[in-house]
């Protein structure tokens, strides 16, 4: 089963991809226990993790990550033009170390993290090798944790609830509640969130915690499980300098406990900078420096750009490698020429573009580059432990139960999720009730009943589309959690279905009852029950359809347009706007009208309402018309088919759409990356074939270096951006 055995699931996934899984050596965390607890981690959670033994939950394994000649190319625009975002990067990250990625805005920090974590965008192609413990590995779905730039959190939950639910979703079922609670409280203290622990995160209608606090909640969610390999994209953005220092200190303490931590960072203070072990400096996607953070100043001095004594080293590095403002600098230079001429700062005598060129060139021929390459070769030759998902340790039942509860709490607190829809449904059905009030059995009521049913099952169910923005928010949270291996897809689909059920029953039974009794549809309890059940099934089908759309189209405007379009087509072939026998046979009648849930809902409701009633004729002297006659001759409905059969089809559609939802998520997780990998390989093959006069030379078959130029595929379609 999904989720519970998160590890097994992931292992199976990698094995299926044809990767060799031989455990050669269990590498020991280099810095295990070195300075743990000395800085950062709160004594509470640190003690707990020590008592329980972090290895009991994660296994005695460490993560050595290497990347060699890593190049990322993206396609831009529709014309197939490409842009190289990262160019031949080589580096490594070892257990016990905190590596900082620095560089100007747009230098490729996030892309490097995405590439290492296997989460590149759909239009990005990666070449080069990324090895974890000397092996190719899939780092998404829990093998590595990744705190992305966006804080996708559930707005209606408090900070404490958010972290508690996350703990229950991932910690083993057998771990006592008090220990789970202590771990949650410890993590809250570590991230300095104790003052806002009971404040809601906030959403469009709820003012919640600040942006910096949200950032810290996102980090708390990932450090909760003490991941072996942790990526963080700008963890200190939006934080004040003191918070930035303490957060970085916590990350360093985590690293010192044998974990591997890589974080991109903007503008660290000198105190924060001192906490980094290794520094990867990027400019325009190229390596400016990779080595010990403490040796970076010396590197810049050797390259001819010494850091002035009173300047923060990181500020100096970034000033040297940010060429975005060269034009502004040139203009200033013209206006205050004398000052520049007198200055002994080399940056004021040359352009930054020139400084970057010199630095990159200097690095390429320096001992730092040589040492890095040597170390990468050394580390990547050691085949260490195969790391499977360190995501969830909870059972499938625990995951499904916790997700259902969390989703239910969210739905009940979010006014826009169901409450607003309930109000609109009640208002609209009261309008229907007053317009068709006590419709009766007169001659004109025949068409009125048809129109009423068609409006209820067409437009009223259509209004369920209003929940789409909430689904999109749910999907964003799901994608973040799923990529970090918090739970399985099946647990999510089940919980989402169950948690929505009470609200949908409330909405459809309340509005259905108003409509049924005001219009005075066919009397009798079973007729009433059929009507509300039919409404419930139709609304649930729309919800399931919209959820399936949300799983592939994360933009709510596009999703609503597509959902509305699909429903519009379904309505057209429902048998009301065009009678069933008149619908053009190929395609529209078969299969489209049978795929349309409106068709089954209307067929069932027409029978439910008209069968057994007798209607007045056009004039009183003509005989009365039985409902069966109208069904067959006016609405063209097969009266021999039971209305309960129509209802069964509707309920089956709910299951089909939910399965579709599940399949779509799985396809985007497993099949799409494979297809993209195949396309990337093809492109690289094409690129490596050189046209020479009339003949072509296949470099991939001739040149050993190109033959070993392994094309890695980005492992996930779910972009974090
Ligand atoms: N999928 C993509 N499609 C098109 N362009 C992309 C893609 N990914 C990255 N880029 C481009 O690559 C460059 C580097 O982007 P990236 O987000 O990695 O920079 P960054 O260093 O993280 O920037 P910041 O610090 O501002 O977040 C940018 O110019 C960006 O527009």
Q: What is the dihedral of CA 688, 692, 695, 697, to 10 degrees?
A: -30
Higher pLDDT: 140 or 305? It is: 305
Cα 619 to chain centroid, rounded: 64
Atom of ligand 1 nearest to the CA of 107: 21
**How many C-beta atoms lie closer than 10 Å to residue 496's C-beta?**
22
Highest mean pLDDT among 9-18, 297-306, 397-406 belongs to 397-406
Q: How many residues are given for the chain?
A: 721
CB 280 within 8 A of CB 108: no
**How many C-beta atoms lie closer than 10 Å to residue 190's C-beta?**
27
- Residue 667's pLDDT band, with cuts at 50, 70 and 90, is confident
Q: Which residue has the tokens 């959670």?
A: 45
Q: For residue 266, what pLDDT is reported?
A: 84
Q: For residue 348, what pLDDT is reported?
A: 63
Q: For residue 305, what pLDDT is reported?
A: 87
Q: How many CA atoms within 13 Å lie on the side-chain side of 494?
A: 16
Which of 479, 483, 475, 474 lies closest to 392, judged by CA?
483
CB 483 within 8 A of CB 716: yes
- Residue 350's pLDDT band, with cuts at 50, 70 and 90, is confident
Higher pLDDT: 385 or 613? It is: 613
Task: List the residue whose alpha carbon is closest to atom 25 of ligand 1.
Answer: 105
Q: For residue 344, what pLDDT is reported?
A: 59
Higher pLDDT: 201 or 713? It is: 201
- Domains, the chain, ordered by start: 23-144+229-382+682-721 (3.40.50.300), 152-226 (no CATH), 396-668 (no CATH)
Q: Which two tokens stand for residue 529?
A: 């029950």
Q: Is the pLDDT of residue 44 over 70?
A: no
Q: Is the pLDDT of residue 248 over 50?
A: yes
> pLDDT tens across 226-236, in order?
888 999 999 99
- 566 within ligand 1 shell (Cβ under 6 A): no
DSSP tag of 171: S
Residue to mutate, 85, 676, 718, ligand 1, most ligand atoms under 8 Å from C-beta? 85
- 106 within ligand 1 shell (Cβ under 6 A): yes
The C-alpha R_g of the chain, in whole angstroms, comes to 31
DSSP bridge partners of 206: 203
Q: For residue 388, what pLDDT is reported?
A: 66
Distance 124 CA to ligand 1 centre (A): 11
Cα-based distances in Å from 150 to 5, 185, 532, 602, 665: 28, 24, 41, 44, 21
Residue to mutate, 70, 73, 74, 718, ligand 1, most ligand atoms under 8 Å from C-beta? 74
CB 631 within 8 A of CB 643: no
Q: Is the pLDDT of residue 453 over 50?
A: yes
Q: Is the pLDDT of residue 621 over 90?
A: no
Mean pLDDT, rounded, for 472-499? 92
Q: For residue 629, what pLDDT is reported?
A: 94
Q: For residue 681, what pLDDT is reported?
A: 62
What distance in Å separates the CA atoms of residue 508 and residue 518, rounded to the nearest whole number? 15
Q: Is the pLDDT of residue 26 over 70?
A: no
Listing DSSP states for 572-604 in one string gives HTSSSSS-GGGS-TEETTEEHHHH-HHHHHHHH
Distance 117 CA to ligand 1 centre (A): 15
Distance 285 CA to ligand 1 centre (A): 9
Task: List the residue whose alpha carbon is closest to atom 13 of ligand 1.
Answer: 106
> pLDDT tens across 292-348, in order?
999 999 998 988 888 888 788 888 888 888 766 565 555 555 555 545 455 556 666
Q: Is the pLDDT of residue 78 over 70?
A: no
Distance 508 CA to ligand 1 centre (A): 46
CB 393 within 8 A of CB 146: no
- 110 within ligand 1 shell (Cβ under 6 A): yes
Q: Is the pLDDT of residue 356 over 60?
A: yes
What distance in Å separates the CA atoms of residue 638 and residue 628, rounded to the nearest whole number? 10
Of 194-203, 354-363, 524-533, the range with the lowest mean pLDDT is: 354-363
- Residue 551's pLDDT band, with cuts at 50, 70 and 90, is confident
The rounded percent of the chain whose pLDDT value lies above 90 is 55
Which of 663, 204, 653 lies closest to 470, judged by CA?
204
CB 673 within 8 A of CB 637: no
What distance in Å separates the CA atoms of residue 132 and residue 229, rounded to the nearest whole number? 10
Mean pLDDT, rounded, for 482-500? 93
Task: List the residue whose alpha carbon is closest to atom 16 of ligand 1.
Answer: 108
Mean pLDDT, rounded, for 651-676? 88
Task: List the residue whose alpha carbon is closest to atom 2 of ligand 1.
Answer: 74
Q: What is the dihedral of CA 684, 686, 687, 689, to 10 degrees?
A: 130
Distance 667 CA to ligand 1 centre (A): 26
Cα 81 to chain centroid, rounded: 27
> pLDDT tens across 576-611, in order?
999 999 999 889 998 999 999 999 999 999 999 999
pLDDT, averaged across the chain: 82
Q: What is the predicted ipTM?
A: 0.97
Task: List the residue whose alpha carbon is closest to atom 23 of ligand 1.
Answer: 106
Task: List the residue whose alpha carbon is closest to atom 24 of ligand 1.
Answer: 105
Of 108-112, 158-162, 343-347, 569-573, the range with the lowest mean pLDDT is: 343-347
Atom of ligand 1 nearest to the CA of 285: 14
- 81 within ligand 1 shell (Cβ under 6 A): no
Task: List the residue whose alpha carbon is closest to atom 5 of ligand 1.
Answer: 74
Residue to mutate, 89, 108, 264, 718, ligand 1, most ligand atoms under 8 Å from C-beta? 108
Q: Is 128 exposed, middle or buried (0-12, 13-18, 19+ CB in 10 A)?
A: buried
Helix ranges (H only) for 62-210 are 109-117, 159-170, 177-190
Q: For residue 556, what pLDDT is reported?
A: 84
Atom of ligand 1 nearest to the CA of 123: 1
The rounded percent of the chain whose pLDDT value lies above 70 is 80
Cα-based distances in Å from 626 to 440, 442, 610, 632, 636: 14, 12, 8, 10, 14
Residue to mutate, 111, 150, 285, ligand 1, most ligand atoms under 8 Å from C-beta? 111
Q: For residue 329, what pLDDT is reported?
A: 58
């Amino acid at each position: 089963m999904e989720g519970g055995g998160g590890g097994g699931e992931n292992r199976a996934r990698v094995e299926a991809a044809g990767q060799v899984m031989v455990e050669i050596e269990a590498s020991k965390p280099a810095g295990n226990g070195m300075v743990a607890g000395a800085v950062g981690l709160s004594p509470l959670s640190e003690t707990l993790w020590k008592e329980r033994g972090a290895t009991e939950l994660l296994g005695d394994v460490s993560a050595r990550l290497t990347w060699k000649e890593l190049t990322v190319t993206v396609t831009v625009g529709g014309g197939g033009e490409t842009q190289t975002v990262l160019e031949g990067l080589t580096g490594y990250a070892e257990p016990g170390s905190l590596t900082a990625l620095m560089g100007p805005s747009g230098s490729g920090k996030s892309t490097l993290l995405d590439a290492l974590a296997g989460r590149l965008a759909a239009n990005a192609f990666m070449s080069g090798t990324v090895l974890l413990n000397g092996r190719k590995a899939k780092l998404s779905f829990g093998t590595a944790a990744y705190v992305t730039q966006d804080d996708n959190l559930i707005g209606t939950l408090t900070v404490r609830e958010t972290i508690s639910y996350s703990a229950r979703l991932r910690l083993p079922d057998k771990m006592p509640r008090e220990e789970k609670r202590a771990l949650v409280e410890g993590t809250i203290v570590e991230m300095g969130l104790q003052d806002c622990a009971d404040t809601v995160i906030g959403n469009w209608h709820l003012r919640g915690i600040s942006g910096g606090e949200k950032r810290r909640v996102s980090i708390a969610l990932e450090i909760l499980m003490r991941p072996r390999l942790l990526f963080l994209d700008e963890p200190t953005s939006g934080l004040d300098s003191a918070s930035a220092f303490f957060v970085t200190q916590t990350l360093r303490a985590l690293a010192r406990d044998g974990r591997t931590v890589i974080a991109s960072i903007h503008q660290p203070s000198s105190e924060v900078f001192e906490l980094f072990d290794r520094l990867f400096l990027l400019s325009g996607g190229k390596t400016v420096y990779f080595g010990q953070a403490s040796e970076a100043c010396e590197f810049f001095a050797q390259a001819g750009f010494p850091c002035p004594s009173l300047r923060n080293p990181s500020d100096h590095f970034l000033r040297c490698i940010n060429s975005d403002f060269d034009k502004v600098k040139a203009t200033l230079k013209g206006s205050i020429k004398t000052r520049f001429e007198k200055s002994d700062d080399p940056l004021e005598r040359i352009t930054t573009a020139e400084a970057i060129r010199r630095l990159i060139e200097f690095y390429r021929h320096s001992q730092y580059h040589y040492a890095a390459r040597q170390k990468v070769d050394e580390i990547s030759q050691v085949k260490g432990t195969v790391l499977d998902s360190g995501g969830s340790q909870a059972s499938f039942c625990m995951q499904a139960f916790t997700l259902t509860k969390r989703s239910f709490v969210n739905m009940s607190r979010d006014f826009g999720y169901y409450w607003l829809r309930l109000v609109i449904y009640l208002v609209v059905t009261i309008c229907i009730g007053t317009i068709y009030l006590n419709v009766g059995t007169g001659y004109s009521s025949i068409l009125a009943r048809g129109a009423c049913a068609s409006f209820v099952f067409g437009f009223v169910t259509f209004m369920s589309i209003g929940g789409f923005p909430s689904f999109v928010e749910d999907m964003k949270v799901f994608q973040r959690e799923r990529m970090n291996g918090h739970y399985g897809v099946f647990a999510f689909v089940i919980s989402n279905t169950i948690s929505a059920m009470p609200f949908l029953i409330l909405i459809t039974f309340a509005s259905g009852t108003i409509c049924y009794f005001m219009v005075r549809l066919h009397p009798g309890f079973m007729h009433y029950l059929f009507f509300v059940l039919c409404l419930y099934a139709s609304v649930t089908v729309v919800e399931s359809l919209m959820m399936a759309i949300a799983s592939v189209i994360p933009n709510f405007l596009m999703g609503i347009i597509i959902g509305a379009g699909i429903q519009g087509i379904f309505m057209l072939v429902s048998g009301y706007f065009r009678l069933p026998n008149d619908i053009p046979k190929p395609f529209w009648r078969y299969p489209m009208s049978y795929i349309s849930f409106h068709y089954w809902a209307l067929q069932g409701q027409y029978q439910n309402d008209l069968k057994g009633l007798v209607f007045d004729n056009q004039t009183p002297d003509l005989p009365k018309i039985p409902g069966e006659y109208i069904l067959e001759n006016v609405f063209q409905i097969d009266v021999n088919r039971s209305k309960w059969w129509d209802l069964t089809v509707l309920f089956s559609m709910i299951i089909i759409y939910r399965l579709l939802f599940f399949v779509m998520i799985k396809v985007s997780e497993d099949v799409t990356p494979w297809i993209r990998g195949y396309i990337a390989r093809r492109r690289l093959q094409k690129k490596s074939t050189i046209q020479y006069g009339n003949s072509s030379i296949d470099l991939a078959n001739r040149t050993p270096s190109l033959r070993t130029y392994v094309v890695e595929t980005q492992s996930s379609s779910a972009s974090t951006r």
